[in-house]
Structure 1
Amino acid sequence: MDDTVYSDPIELVVQPADDGLAVRTVLQKRLGVSRRLLTRLKRTKVGLTVNGRRAFTSDRVSAGDRIALRMEAEAADDVLPQEMPLSILHEDPHLLVLDKPAGIVVHPTKGHYVNTLANGVVHHWLKHGKAHRFRPVHRLDKDTSGVIAVAKNAYVHQQLAEQMKRGRIGKRYIAYVRGAPSPADGTIDAPIDRDPAAPHLRIVTPDGYPSVTHYRTEAVYGGGRAAKVSLTLETGRTHQIRVHMRHIGCPLIADELYGGHGAGDPDWLAAAVKSAGRQALHAAELELTHPMTGERMIFASPLPDDLLRLERLLKSLDDRES
């Protein structure tokens, strides 16, 4: 008897074009299953079946056969369950998409084991009788709000990571910055790497990793003292938007690391920093192809209250100018 707990199955019907092929070939061809994942499936007792019976990756299949992958459920042993409110935009057996508030760290780190998004998500799953390892598809900084996706199994995580690598995941952000970009719309193609003098920071450097950000100015406030900018990423370097906007002379408002405020700020900026309370960056949209259904999906998060307050304050600069 097999007492192993498995995740929800991933199923595939063999097409006529794949008649006679080995299971491994069909899985790689149709689902893009990695060799590493195939190796994991070999170790399970009923992790791979054809028409309900245990199968091996070398078995041959016929058109109409139903292949099912059942991966072992993975308890997040390194994450303590902790009840917290979650804003769930989408959830199915394979994927969870959340609207993360500012001020929440995504994953536990050394010395920071609780009060993270991972703690809340693991509690949510256990509450519903599920066990999954917390696998964020991408990361958001603690003080960045907005859409974040979490894969529920290794296959979905692998597929979404491949989409990310190939530029097939779309991420759009909204930022409020000091100054106004010139030109108003453009592309920042500037390599990024760690700052040798402060390894927790990133800088633009010729020897850095390729980093590309596209931006569009949506509004300019106070005669160019501040702006609202929409940004999309071709790459996903740590702190990319924050570093790139500083690079063009428009750091994010209230960004403590990259020059969004400091001593001697004008009154309007000091008020803006106080209003935002954190770097003025929001992950507004995430677009991806669901690995199981093939459906192109777009998830959106409205601007949170703190950034709406900031926008109203910046708009008032125009009233003072008139």
Structure 2
Amino acid sequence: MGFSLTVTEKWSGLTLEAVLRDELAFSKKTIHQWRMEKGIHINGELTPWKNTLSEGDILTFALDDPAPSYPPSQMDIDVLFQDDHLIIVNKPSQTDTHPNEPGQNNTLVNAVVHYELQSGRTGYIQPIHRLDRDTTGAILFAKHSAIKPLLDQMLEKRDIRRTYTAIVQGEVKIAKGTINQPIGKDRHHATRRRISPGGQKAVTHYKKIRYDAASNTTILSLTLDTGRTHQIRVHLSSIGHPIVGDTLYGAKKAGHSYQALHASSLSFVHPFTGELVDVDAPEPLKRRL
């Protein structure tokens, strides 16, 4: 298995190596491996890498991905966007992103592997980020090993913009603000995190969408500068507005089991096509008030 890319006008006149190194940002190790293994064809032929490319040329990349990367498991999934390189799925609540213990195979990644195998692909699937078990919304997965490190780099550089929607207890008075508090482990609880002076830097931006007096809850839109475990949950609890349903961080017990946090959108420039991928995930939270 492999993948193909079409040379754009921007790449025309460049050498293959320049495109791989400067335009697509592949690592030196990856480029060297393709060169040694003669793993890239131009218009179906092995062509010297010093030759310049022309718009419309087809670059075909050979890949030797292990498959499947996780055991497949039958589960309906909500695909928000996909192409030959990546797939974005709307994660339901009460579902882990990936296995957390040996033998666990009822996670979202297992379901996406099954979906890919049913589509005739290798089943190589790797999550680029994760959501807590009770958090819903958009998650990005790599479909092959060549794009995964590029997406990982984009996530690390914050070139993948993620927006969240949360319903919190009480009325948030300030229309918008930033919570800049370091987060560390809670030594008294195995899974909980807490605000800690010695913790990792964590920055959360929020904007008030609306307040619902009947339920005494506020809907917030949030973006992150950092991606700490439980970051939004810890930060909102720290200002006295825990997320509805999040009893781990101080929310009152409610007559439902959901945690009202949703990854509502995902936006980034596709590393191969240069096109903007801007995906909105259906927001069930707004229908719960």
Using the size of structure 1 for normalisation, the TM-score is 0.80
SS of match in other structure, 2:133 = coil
What does 1:218-237 align with in structure 2 at a 5 Å threshold?
Answer: 218-222=209-213, 225-237=216-228
Distance 1:40 1:198, change over 3 A: farther
Query: Alpha-carbon deviation of 1:213?
Result: 0.9
The aligned residue for residue 22 of structure 2 is 29
Map of 1:141 onto structure 2? 132
Give the partner amino acid of 1:280. A
The reply on whether 1:310 has 2:288 as its aligned counterpart is: yes
Alignment pair present for 1:295 and 2:282: no
User: Aligned equivalents of 1:28 and 1:11: distance in 2?
Assistant: 16
Identify which of 15, 29, 47 aligns with 2:12: 15
Q: Deviations over 1:127-158 (max 9, x none)?
A: 12101422112111111111111111233222
Could you tell me which residue of structure 2 aligns to residue 214 of structure 1?
205
| Aligned mates of 1:223, 1:120 — CA distance in 2 | 38
Question: Are residues 1:185 and 2:180 paired?
Answer: no
**Deviations 1:206-247 (CA, angstroms, capped at 9, x unpaired):** 222221111011122338942111111122111111011011
- In structure 2, do the counterparts of structure 1 residues 296 and 281 end up closer, same or farther at CA, with 3 Å as the change threshold? same
Work out the CA distance in 1 between the residues paired with 2:228 and 2:60: 33
Q: Tell me, what secondary structure is at the counterpart of 1:131?
A: coil
**Contact 2:68–2:125 (CA under 8 A) maintained in structure 1:** no
Summarize deviations over 1:247-299 as a string: whole Å, max 9, x none: 111111111321122xxxxxxxx4xx223x12110111111111222111211
Call closer, same or farther: CA 1:249–1:76 in 2, change over 3 Å: farther
Inter-CA distance 302–196: structure 2 relative to 1 (3 Å threshold): same
Taking the aligned partners of 1:235 and 1:132, their CA distance within structure 2 comes to: 30
Task: Give the SS at the match of 1:119.
Answer: helix
Task: Please give the TM-score of this superposition, normalised by the length of structure 2.
Answer: 0.89
Contact (CA 8 Å) 1:245, 1:251: kept in 2 or not? yes
Do 2:90 and 2:136's aligned partners in 1 also have CA atoms closer than 8 Å? yes
Q: Which of 270, 274, 296 is residue 255 of structure 2 equivalent to?
A: 274
| Matched residues, number | 286
CA-based RMSD = 2.4
Q: 1:54 to 1:63 in 2, by over 3 A?
A: closer
Higher share in helix: 1
Provide the secondary structure at the position in 1 that maps to 2:247: coil
Counterpart CA distance in 2 for 1:145 and 1:131 is 27
In structure 2, relative to structure 1, the CA distance for the partners of 1:172 and 1:8 (3 Å cut) is: same
3-state SS of paired residue (1:53):
coil
1:53 equivalent to 2:45? Answer yes
- Give distance in 2, aligned partners of 1:152 and 1:158: 12
Aligned AA (2:255): K
Contact map agreement 1:212 1:234 (CA 8 A) in 2? yes
How far did 1:190 drift? 1.3
Taking only the aligned residue pairs, the percentage that are identical comes to 33
| Pairwise CA distance, 1:183 | 2.3
**Structure 2 CA distance for aligned equivalents of residues 248 and 55 of structure 1:** 61
Q: How many angstroms apart in 2 are the aligned matches of 1:224 and 1:84?
A: 34
1:284 equivalent in structure 2: 264
Query: Could you tell me which amino acid in structure 2 is paired with residue 286 of structure 1?
Result: L
| Number of the residue aligned with 1:116 | 107
User: Any stretches of 5+ residues in structure 2 without a counterpart?
Assistant: none
Deviation readout 1:158-209 (Å, 9 max, x if unpaired): 2222222222221111111112334231011112222233342222222222
Deviation per CA, 1:5-26, whole angstroms, max 9, x where unpaired? x22223436533x3xx5x4343
How far apart in 2 are the matches of 1:43 and 1:258? 53
Task: Decide which of 203, 227, 230 is 1:239's aligned counterpart.
Answer: 230
8 Å CA contact 1:220, 1:226 repeated in 2: yes
Give the SS at the match of 1:186: strand
In structure 1, how many angstroms separate the alpha carbons of the residues matched to 2:195 and 2:100? 26
- Within 2, Cα distance between the matches of 1:205 and 1:239? 13
- CA deviation after TM superposition for structure 1 residue 40, in Å: 4.1
Specify the alignment match of 1:173 in structure 2. Answer: 164
**In 2: Cα distance, 1:62 partner to 1:297 partner:** 29
